[in-house]
Amino acid sequence: MSAAVIPFQLSVSGRGPANYVVRAFAAGRGAEAPLMPPDPRDAPDVLSLALGRALFPGPVRQLLIDVARGADEAGARVQIQLYAAPDLAGLPWEWASLGQSSPWRPAVREDYTLVRSGSLRPAIEPLPVAGPLRLLIACAAGVETAIGPLGHALAEAVRAGLLVVDLLRDTDPLSLREALAEEPCHALHLIAADAWGQGEGARLRLGRGLDVAGLAGILADYPNLRLVTFAADREADPAALGTMAAGLHEALGMTTVALGGLEPDQVARFSGPLYQAIALGDPADLAITDGRLALEASGAPWGAPRLWLVPGTERLFTPLPLDAQPPPRREGIPETEHLPVGTPLRPQREPAPPGRAARALATARAFVVNTTTVGKPAQRARSQPRGPLLQPRLIALAAALLVLALLVSRVLPSDAATEGQRDAAIAALPTLQPVTAATEALSGPASVPEPRGFQSYLVVAGDSLASIAERSGSDPGALAALNRLAPGATLRPGRPLVVPVYHDGEPLPAAPIVTRGNPERPLVALTFDIEIDDTTLYALLDTLDAREVKGTFFVTGSWAQRYPEAAKAIVSRGHEIANHSLTHPAFSTIGADGALNELAETERIVRELTGASTRPYFRFPYGDSTPQMVETIGRAGYVAYHWSADDVAIADWIARAAADPAQAYGGILLMHGRASSVAALAGYIDQLLALGLQPTTLSAVLE
């Protein structure tokens, strides 16, 4: 089994050069620093170092070193997942390097792979494939000179029986659609005559201009198509090619590669190792690294290729022995006869109507089998799957698993894994559907009428439920029920509220992120972020029950879907359940629509499973937020709650509280569903009680 993947999420975002920031999230920790984007017009060596300094400033670099050290001890590898805001996505971050005498370049390392991400989709299990992988090369008119070098580069994989390659010449949208209908493929290599434009205006020239929506409409019907590579004439705009690759990834969740700014022989040199590794079942990020290393070895632009993938979907295919899936009997071919080269090992589909695609489609034998081999893999040519990349540690398996559990909040397998590991890491989640939170019926501590929308608000002196309701167009009873208050309750100044809106009223100033409850009462909230498994959840519940203490559990919708009985147990055992998103993304990177989907889907899942509402409590994954996101979640019916101290800081926080317990009043403690939290929880509760501090729920601490 290959090394597990530890995600190191990097987010670069902001508004204007003075407000850009780089944020890193990994292993339950975070770091951030201001970001000054480099000038892309700088000389390559200067730009490479500037990108490295921008992407890995001191705090981020130190966090990466710490995570990498833990990964090495656990026999894992780090995957740097880059989430770039649209105005920063065009920068060539893959060129980032640190140091001059022996530069560190994550884009050409196997233990620190660099990928781009952004698609709000669940990970997809690898597709089992018996026999060779089928690759379609679709080449536009006028760029046929790219075909020859690519054919040479793929010859070795074809001879080895790893690939069947078809060629579609003079490609336009119609012929591409016909070719895919006639013979679906696993990977598609597009060679466009040109690429231009940005954002929704980006286009490829395949006979005519083709935008992301048009291409997605052609490819959406082929679930076995897992990889699309974008190449084009040397004069095409690399940024437009990247925009097309990123757009298709966002639209369909496909793994995509952009090869802007490369000559045809450089594209071929990269593609040979890429497709051979993919056909062998290697993870896509390691296959990309092979291709980049081949470019680096020849002095070519190794930082030009860009990869977009959904985290957890590194491995696209699982190669199977030929006898694992017997080939179907085909018309005119006796059962004892070997299938010819180019014959798919799956039932034959009804062909598309005769057209130019059928006449232009060339078989793999005519295209590559008799050509000279170039573009060998940069590091290996092997028949065995890739082995562990790091030095093995002489420790027991149980110890290694414990290190992983303590190190990361989510570990994603990158190669063959046991069924249990796969189930734990790749959940079968539904496709997100846009849902307007304001139209949902509420189900919580009390039944309230369906509002037309929500506001968040921070109580000021003199406020009452009735006065707030009158100003905002709300209802006092619904306002109390939604915020888990008794009817007619006296409101504490500084208390956050979510206000359901039923008719016209004045807008209220939005509540900020909350890090402390009532500072006048000796109560401390025990809150838990739950997204990994159910074993630690039950252990946390047992510890709380044994000490007759209640807590508040922020759950992801994907976790609740995987472990419905555990979600029900939170509510049935008297604890509060709250919203921690659906897929645990960095909210600064997903936009308002993405955020609303994350909130609404989790609310729907939890409410259907438990009968309880997650409103009005939400916690940003990784603590990653923006002022705009705080307003967005307020309009969805939530207030954001951070913490006074998290897992690694709780012991010191309690020590300071021992010197002055009043300073700890209203504290909000954050723990995660990990073995370390289970081990520490009972001790934390006992220490709090000894200081006269009552551990309880978030609702109680806010009163």
Query: Strand 5-13 vs strand 77-84: parallel, antiparallel, or unpaired?
Result: parallel
Report which secondary-structure segment, H or E, holds 655: helix 650-659
Q: What are phi and psi of 432, to 5 degrees?
A: -65, 135
Instruction: Render 326-373 in DSSP notation, one character per residue.
Output: PPPP-TT--TTSPPPTT--SSPPPPPPPS-HHHHHEEPHIIIIITSPP
The helix (run of H) or strand (run of E) holding residue 702 is: helix 698-702
Tell me which of 172, 529, 624, 646 is the catalytic residue.
529
Quick check: helix, strand or coil at residue 302? coil
Strands 21-26 and 5-13: antiparallel
Q: Is 100 helix (H, G, I), strand (E, B) or coil?
A: coil
Q: How many CB atoms lie within 10 A of CB 342?
A: 19
**Helix-helix angle 212-219:238-252, to 10 degrees:** 50
| Planar angle of CA 557, 126, 536, nearest 5 degrees | 35
- Strand stretches in 475-569, DSSP E: 496-501, 523-530, 552-555
Would strands 21-26 and 208-210 be described as parallel, antiparallel, or unpaired?
unpaired
Q: Which of 186, 189, 575, 672 is catalytic?
A: 672
Is 72 among the residues known to form the active site? no
Q: In whole angstroms, give the CA distance from residue 321 to residue 611.
A: 47
Token output for 107? 């884009």
Q: What letters, b where the CB count within 10 A reaches 16 and e where it falls short, cover 380-393?
A: eeeeeebeebbeee
Residue 353 CB-half CA count within 13 A: 1
| Residue 152 a catalytic site member | no
Residue 24 pairs in a beta bridge with: 10, 31
Cα–Cα distance list, 57 to 21, 50, 96, 102, 161 (Å) = 11, 11, 12, 18, 46
Reference 4, options 256, 315, 355, 259; nearest CA is 315
For residues 416 and 282, give the distance between their C-alpha atoms in angstroms, rounded to a whole number.
9
Task: List active site positions.
Answer: 529, 672
